[in-house]
Amino acid sequence: MDLPRRHQANINAPVESLDGWDGSIAYLDRDGVLNVGREDYVKNADEVVLLKGSGHAVAALRAAGFRIVVVTNQSPVNRGMFTHDDLADINQAVIELLLAENSDAHLDLILYSPYAPWEYSPVRKPGPGMLQVGRQLLSGLPLEVTFHSSMLEHKFDEGRSFMAGDRDADMGAAMQHDVRGFRVDCNVGIAGILDRLLDDNDDGDALEI
């Protein structure tokens, strides 16, 4: 079965538990949400530029009880444009910039899909696979990837969980994983929709794909 890759860890490595967590997850795309995206891809750590307020937004989501799972399509890896090690350096730069802006801006997981579109992987957005794996890891469930959350052997109420991203693929992944989807302005990032994310009555944009 296809599995995403995990930043600087084996995909099956345990994830630190959190006392009192209600199960809410903020699934976040990376480029255009946390850092500035590029038409020719962010290819090395020197090209990483944090979108203003991203660190403060992540910290606010954590304070509101969300765990943070970054889910990012990174097909340039399998296309040979850069390596897994290059991507690890890029992801680490994002982590460090978030924490430099706000020391509480911790990410629980970074998952990425190295698969190209023509590989038709269920762990490439708009497939729900990366979100499913994030849920399973944080919930301590055995890893399995299916094409739709309703097919999971182990069900979990996603409750307040949401997906925030700047592309149709992100909204598609939200819809297939049965969570709210929030469209982000790629020039502003997650800070621009923070109030909506913290509003439990906001249904998001999951149907706008």
Residue type, 18: L
In this structure, the number of other CB atoms found within 10 A of the CB of residue 56 comes to 17
In the set 2, 19, 22, 31, the catalytic residue is: 31
Q: Quick check: is 108 catalytic?
A: no
Beta bridge partner(s), residue 72: 112
Q: Quick check: is 29 catalytic?
A: yes
In the set 2, 19, 22, 29, the catalytic residue is: 29
Rounded Cα–Cα distance for residues 42 and 178 (Å): 29
Under DSSP, the state recorded for 53 is: T
Alpha helices in 84-147 (DSSP H): 84-101, 129-138
Rounded Cα–Cα distance for residues 95 and 170 (Å): 21
Q: What are phi and psi of 196, to 5 degrees?
A: -65, -40
Rounded Cα–Cα distance for residues 170 and 173 (Å): 5
Rounded Cα–Cα distance for residues 72 and 70 (Å): 6
* Catalytic machinery residues: 29, 31
